[in-house]
Amino acid sequence: MTREYVYEKMNEIFRTVFDDEDITLHDETNAEDIEDWDSLEQINLIVAIENEFGMMFDMSEVADLANVGEMVDLILSKDKE
Amino acid sequence: MNEYRFEDLKIGQEESFTVTVTEEMMRSFLDLSGDINPLHNDAEFAKEQGYHDKVVYGLLTTSFLSKLAGVYLPGKYCLLQGVDVKYSRPVYVGDILIVKGIVEELHPSVQRAVIKVYIQNQDEKKVLKGKIEVGFLNVK
């Protein structure tokens, strides 16, 4: 799985969850960049990501994610396990 | 009231209860929603549209999912986070409904359970189907 592929899928997930086709993610994108990104939407995002990529995270792995880049890093590291 | 916490749930776990839809429920729902649409309030109008009687509000039927989540599955510690339903058939006053939930997904990372729900009538016909998403209160 390449970083580009993960970003393609992540863009689709974010656009669906936030109902906003204009979202384009970058490594530095965080909750301050997307108005509706609150704690409940964070749960919706994690669930959508787990289902899309067929993987489950630990609570500790998702608790301290600072931005989209760290989320993508986590997905890629899980893919190699 | 059940008191399941996230850790207690298993995929495939089920809970259900039975409820009869009454005229009093229809009056209460009219009062709180303000929906005076004749399909729900005028039997003659409803029959003219091809229904047997006035049709029970879809959201009244959906409201039983609140009891399913808050009392049965998971119960006391439920934090209802999402509801997604479709209506399959009309419901009428006097119908006896079985409200059922089955645990479909468990996401430990965010303590989220996805519960497949359906409601069927006394003829074993589904009148509602969908999913609810629940989280859990952090109460000791």
ipTM of the complex: 0.86
Owning domain of residue B111: 6-136
Please report which confidence band the pLDDT of residue B139 belongs to, taking 50, 70 and 90 as the band edges: confident
A50 and B135 within 8 Å at the Cβ level: the answer is: no
Chain B residue at shortest CA distance from A39: B110
Asked whether the predicted pLDDT for residue B62 surpasses 90, the reply is: yes
If you ran DSSP here, which 8-state letter would residue B93 be given?
T
Asked whether the predicted pLDDT for residue B140 surpasses 80, the reply is: no
Q: What residues contact B79, with CB distance under 8 A and at least 6 apart?
A: B134, B135, B136, B137
Asked whether the predicted pLDDT for residue B138 surpasses 90, the reply is: no
Cis peptide before B38 (omega within 30 of 0): no
Q: Which residues of B touch A42 (CB under 8 A)?
A: 110
Give the angle subtended at the CA of B86 by the CAs of B67 and A11, to the nearest 5°: 100
Q: Using CA atoms, how far apart are residues B125 and B132, in angstroms rounded to an integer?
A: 20
- Residue A76 DSSP SS3: helix
Q: How many domains are there within chain B?
A: 1
Separation in Å, CA of A7 to nearest CA in chain B: 21
Q: Using CA atoms, how far apart are residues A42 and A71, in angstroms rounded to an integer?
A: 12
pLDDT digit string, tens, across residues A45-61: 999 999 999 999 999 99
In a domain, B59, yes or no: yes
Separation in Å, CA of B66 to nearest CA in chain A: 19
In a domain, B87, yes or no: yes
Does 1.10.1200.10 match the CATH number of domain A3-79? yes
Mean pLDDT (chain B) is 97
Please report which confidence band the pLDDT of residue B130 belongs to, taking 50, 70 and 90 as the band edges: very high
Nearest Cα neighbor of B82 from A11, A63, A43, A34 is: A43
Q: What is the CATH number of the domain that holds B64?
A: 3.10.129.10
B135 and A42 within 8 Å at the Cβ level: the answer is: no
A62 and B114 within 8 Å at the Cβ level: the answer is: no
B13 vs B140 pLDDT, higher one = B13
B109 and A59 within 8 Å at the Cβ level: the answer is: yes
Mean per-residue pLDDT, B47-74: 98
User: Torsions phi, psi of B44, nearest 5?
Assistant: -65, -45
A58 and B112 within 8 Å at the Cβ level: the answer is: no
